[in-house]
Amino acid sequence: MEKLNNSIDRSWIDKFNQPLIISGPCSAESEQQILETANRLNPNYVQIFRAGIWKPRTKPNNFEGIGKKGLEWLHQVKKNTGLLVATEIANAEHVKLAISFDIDVLWIGARSTASPFTIQEIADALEGEKNKIILVKNPIHPDIELWIGALERLLGKGIKKLGVIHRGFYTYKNSKYRNQPNWNLLFNFRSLIPRIPIICDPSHICGNKEGIFDIAKKAYHFQSEGLMIESHCDPDHAWSDAQQQITPEKLLEMLKQLTNFKKFDQKSKRDLDSFRIVIDELDENIIALFSERMNISKKLGSLKKDSDIPVYQPDRWNDIMKKSLIFGRSLGISEELLEGVFKLLHQESIKIQNQIR
């Protein structure tokens, strides 16, 4: 891991003396839409313009991207504004075309990162392209090894100007997020590869406009070195991800509001903030699990009632307690904590089941 960490070339991001902002529409739709959005972005804050040309859609027959002609529009943005330009690539053909239009930054989408064949094809196609900046989004599911494996495949082909994007993870549970962030995983990722620039994509985490600011703020405190936020000159009429795109003016307002945005806090303060963000996330998970457990208790209560079985089953309770203490001990958790929590859980469960009678 140390070798991987040391091989990363950070020069592309270190040259910015403020957090990196990547913005632009989810998809390129027309030349006018691309140029207008780019012209309305404030170049004092935004350094890279993004637009998807090939769009990975969950179902067929949706808009799947404008294709090659969008690359010409991106090239135009680069000439007119001086911004670097970025697009998503998902196969060797995309890589070849993007290079031929002099696109500066290529990002690999979450679905592609999940596929080692796809990543290898992209890495092979990029061989020898020393100047391209490659950003690797997290895979759809929270597999840290797969994410790191993608970086290894790229480094193996001499691609060193790398960064990663945290865009959240698919979850089958009800969630207020489109893609659940996982700060704990990110924390581990950063401990393993401290030199890799981490960029956060609040747009795809939230799936709506309202949550973007909070996630951006969290990411900033989490030592993310940049943000990728979707913006559109006319968000309500966007051809993809309309719910989560904001106008360039709204983006500017948001960026100005991020506290001390131009200046990174001291490292120790940011480490403290990072730990607190992970603790908050874990506490939320614990509460969600309590709720799931109580829902099952209710169902169990009805079943016991229908089958005329007493609520309190001493053997079962002793068994739960014994197993929990053994498991807890193996994880270094004190018996006092486990006993306390499980007694309360059990009492609550009995109460719920008695209420059903």
User: What's the closest the beta carbon of residue 216 comes to Mn ion, in angstroms?
Assistant: 16
Residue 22: φ, ψ to 5°: -110, 125
Q: Whose Cβ is closer to Mn ion: residue 26's or residue 255's?
A: 26
Among the residue ranges 22-30, 64-72, 91-99, 147-155, the one whose residues contact Mn ion (CB under 5 A): 22-30
CB atoms within 10 A of CB 37: 27
Dist. CA 190–CA 158, nearest whole Å: 22
| Residue 134 contact among Mn ion, ligand PEP, none, beta carbon within 5 to 8 Å by kind | none
Q: Whose Cβ is closer to Mn ion: residue 66's or residue 125's?
A: 66
Site string for Mn ion, 206-245 (x = CB under 5 A): -----------------------------------x----
Give how many residues touch Mn ion by CB under 5 A.
2
| Residue 162 contact among ligand PEP, Mn ion, none, beta carbon within 5 to 8 Å by kind | none
The DSSP secondary structure of 171-224, one letter per residue, reads -SS--SSSSB--HHHHHHHHHH-TTS-EEE-HHHHHSSSTTHHHHHHHHHHTT-
CB–CB of 176/210 below 8 Å? no
CB atoms within 10 A of CB 210: 9
Q: Whose Cβ is closer to ligand PEP: residue 52's or residue 163's?
A: 52
Q: Whose Cβ is closer to ligand PEP: residue 56's or residue 158's?
A: 56
Among the residue ranges 21-29, 72-80, 206-214, 334-342, the one whose residues contact Mn ion (CB under 5 A): 21-29
- The token pair at 344 is 């309360």
User: What's the closest the beta carbon of residue 198 comes to ligand PEP, in angstroms?
Assistant: 14
Residue with the closest Cβ to Mn ion? 26
- The token pair at 301 is 């209560």
Residue with the closest Cβ to ligand PEP? 109
In sequence order, the β-bridge partners of residue 105 are: 86, 133
What is the contact surface with ligand PEP in residues (CB under 6 A)? 26, 52, 56, 109-110, 137, 167, 204
Bridge-based pairing of strands 84-88 and 105-108 is parallel
Q: Dihedral of CA 311/314/319/322: which sign?
A: positive
Q: Whose Cβ is closer to ligand PEP: residue 12's or residue 169's?
A: 169
Dist. CA 10–CA 197, nearest whole Å: 7
| Residue 137 contact among ligand PEP, Mn ion, none, beta carbon within 5 to 8 Å by kind | ligand PEP
Q: Whose Cβ is closer to ligand PEP: residue 88's or residue 281's?
A: 88
Which residue blocks in 23-158 are alpha helix, DSSP H?
31-40, 69-81, 92-100, 110-113, 116-126, 144-156
User: What's the closest the beta carbon of residue 300 comes to ligand PEP, in angstroms?
Assistant: 39
Q: Whose Cβ is closer to Mn ion: residue 26's or residue 134's?
A: 26
Q: Whose Cβ is closer to ligand PEP: residue 90's or residue 196's?
A: 90
User: What's the closest the beta carbon of residue 54 comes to Mn ion, in angstroms?
Assistant: 12
CB–CB of 154/187 below 8 Å? no
| Residue 167 contact among Mn ion, ligand PEP, none, beta carbon within 5 to 8 Å by kind | ligand PEP
Classify 43 as helix, strand or coil: coil
Q: Is residue 26 a contact point for Mn ion (CB under 5 A)? A: yes
Question: In the chain, how many H helices and how many E strands?
Answer: 15, 8
CB–CB of 156/181 below 8 Å? no
User: What's the closest the beta carbon of residue 230 comes to Mn ion, in angstroms?
Assistant: 6
| Residue 281 contact among ligand PEP, Mn ion, none, beta carbon within 5 to 8 Å by kind | none
- The token pair at 273 is 């903030």
| Residue 110 contact among Mn ion, ligand PEP, none, beta carbon within 5 to 8 Å by kind | ligand PEP
Q: Whose Cβ is closer to ligand PEP: residue 109's or residue 163's?
A: 109
Of the candidates 109, 117, 85, which has an alpha carbon nearest to the alpha carbon of residue 98? 85
List residues binding Mn ion (CB under 5 A).
26, 241
